[in-house]
Structure 1
Amino acid sequence: MSTDDMWSIGELAEHAGVTVKTVRFYSDRGLLPEAGRSGGGHRRYGPEALDRLRLIRSLRTLDLPVPDVGRVLDQEDALEDLVAAQLRELGSRMAALRWREAALQLLQDCTPEERADRLRLIGAVGTPPSTAALARFWRSWLPPRLPARLTTAIVDQAVPQPPGDPTPEQVLAFARLHAFASGPCPDTGRPVARRPEPDYRPDVLYDGLIEAYALAAPAVRSAHPPREGEALDCFVSAHARARGTHDTPAFRRALGSQLASELRIDDYWRLTAVVTGSPDPTPGATDAWLCAALSGRG
């Protein structure tokens, strides 16, 4: 290519509609190779540099860092991965902004008497919010001898994910859940029927409870009164087998009395239902339905 076919740095900048400083910046970082030098040592660029410079500018408007722009220029398949990464990052930032907007709306709409308490609750939750405190609560609440697969399954089901586009009510419910889970969890608060004991098999209990909850869920979702049936039989059987005994009328009476006297965390499940906004019953709601069926409170 003759020098007559090449552009100076100023000419390239003029053709591209950018400043000389911009061209020099990308040249110095190796993104815009020179085609040669003039007799006086000045940079010269071929016409193909214009297309490359326009591509660089397009990539930069997508907020791609300069090193990533270099990867796209050098690797044909790099753009797809980088775009996907940018979309994930942008999604996280937008979720954080939507959460912040709902939190501000919550503060704006409350009474002056409520504002201090709500501000305290919201201030304890990060943006975007983390579910780590809720997961820690459940891992401390569950029996220590529970197999990892069951612990993971229960935590996944019990810990609600913050909605991507929350309402102010969902922000408040999640903040209250976070405060609940971050408070003390004394061993005396853990259900007696689910504490680790020498002959107690928590894996048998929780495997059975998961099945019983699935069987009872349609009735709970449809707001049917608690009643006997397959779901209750499965529920009682899980408790009996975990203790190495059988489902008998006497066992049902004893289990009903024991479960009725235990501390429940119904507020946790009520708040969880608000956070998820799902019509499906929470495990807590299903458990309460089965306990009511066991005691004959239909």
Structure 2
Amino acid sequence: MSSHEVLWSIGELAERAGATVKTVRFYSDRGLLPEASRSGGGHRRYGPEALERLRLIRSLRALELPLPEVRRILEDEAGAGRVLEDAVAGRLRELGSELRALRWREAALGLVRECPPAERADRLRLIGAVSVPPSTAPLARFWRAWLPPRMPARVMSAFLEAAVPQPPDEPAPAQVLAFARLHAMTTAPCPAGRQPQPEVHRVAGVRGAAVLYEGLAEAYELAGPRLRRAHEPHSGEALDAYVAAYASAYGSPDTPEFRRLLAARLAAEARLDRYWELTSVVRTPPDGRPEPTPGSADDWLRAALTDQVERIFGADPG
């Protein structure tokens, strides 16, 4: 150390940094703030590098970075700032989650405030059952139980992406209520232990089910633009892809008779209409038009199939 080097006491360093002596001592005791030397009486002395280090530490702490992260950043002398970049990215993710939680709570409070007094207890129960920020895991578990077992992971993932709505980052009160109702629906015990399964699940088997849902995904994508333009259900490429998916699953050729039988089978199945109605609310921006869901696309295609069968066979497709 040069005899001309400036040294400060702990109080002088604190004053120059605009901090308290307690703060300087806290960081110094944890090895984050280097001492240049000690006085004859054992008092700490700090050089100019300690002032810069203290300012950096306080800036990092102002960003609410935890002390272990601060230590790693200070020790990253040869890391070209990568530790700092990672720490900032992690904190941004945390803040994003915190902001989503706050917006969800704000919308939930608005929902309770706006509802009639007689409905508040029920709405509080619905909202209180949902984690904050809300998780889609219960909805995904619902569909995994509903779909045929041992579905290929790729097909399962594609279906879940289409079927499970992500909670909006800035939800309206109606979207909070719709998601809470979806949560309640998908976590409620089933009367018979499972949701009613379509007949085709039993007939198709694992391989056939994978082919079925890949084909249905294609049909729904083809029907999407027609739903967005509010076209009436009609025959065409989307309907042909829809029927082809079922024909492959049932191991049957696509004939007029098969279409008649398929329309009757689909009409007799239990539906999940309420799920898709709520999903549409969750996915629709407050000032936007509803986006097609697998449920609304399936409704459109079933209506197109029924219309086609009635034109071929008469008013009673069964």
TM-score band, normalised by shorter chain: over 0.9
1:158 equivalenced with 2:159 (yes/no): no
Distance 1:29 1:136, change over 3 A: same
The Cα offsets for residues 22-62 of structure 1, whole Å up to 9 and x where unpaired, read as 11111111111111111222111112211111111111111
Aligned to 1:113: 118
Where 1:264 maps in the other structure, the secondary structure is coil
Which of the numbers 262, 275, 285 marks the counterpart of 2:296?
Answer: 285
Does the alignment pair 1:21 with 2:26?
no
Q: 1:63 to 1:24 in 2, by over 3 A?
A: same
2:246 aligned partner? 239
CA contact (8 A) 2:127 2:180 kept: yes
Identity of aligned residues (%): 63
Find the aligned partners of 1:268 and 1:220 in 2 and give their Cα distance.
18
Q: Please, which moves more after superposition, 106-115 or 199-208?
A: 199-208
List alignment gaps of at least 5 residues for structure 1: none
Whether the 8 Å CA contact 2:148–2:206 is kept in 1: the answer is: no
Tell me the distance in 2 between the aligned counterparts of 1:199 and 1:162: 31
The amino acid that maps onto 2:121 is A
Matched residue, 1:207? 214
1:260-279 equivalences under 5 Å are 260-277=267-284, 279=290
Q: TM-score with structure 1 length normalisation?
A: 0.95
The amino acid across from 1:31 in the alignment is L
Contact 1:145/1:196 (<8 A) preserved: no
Q: Secondary structure at the match of 2:45?
A: strand
Secondary structure of the 1:195 match is helix
1:146 matched to 2:151: yes
Post-superposition offset of 1:152: 1.3
Quote the RMSD (CA, aligned, Å). Answer: 1.8
1:96 is aligned to: 101
2:178 touches 2:279 (CA, 8 Å); kept in 1?
A: yes
Change (3 A) 1:74 1:253: same
Q: Tell me which stretches of 4 or more aligned residues in structure 1 moved more than 2 Å.
A: 1-5, 184-188, 193-200
Unmatched runs of 5 consecutive residues or more in structure 2: 311-318
Q: Does structure 1 retain, via aligned residues, the 8 Å contact 2:111–2:177?
A: yes
- Segment drifting more, 16-25 vs 174-183: 16-25
TM-score, with structure 2 as normaliser: 0.89
Equivalence for 2:313: none
Tell me how far apart the structure 1 counterparts of residues 206 and 84 of structure 2 sit (CA, whole Å).
58
Count residues with an aligned counterpart. 298
Distance 1:101 1:21, change over 3 A: same
Cα displacement (A) at 1:234: 1.1
The CA distance in 2 between the partners of 1:237 and 1:114, in whole Å, is 46
Cα shift at 1:146:
2.2
Tell me the amino acid that sits aligned with residue 245 of structure 1: S
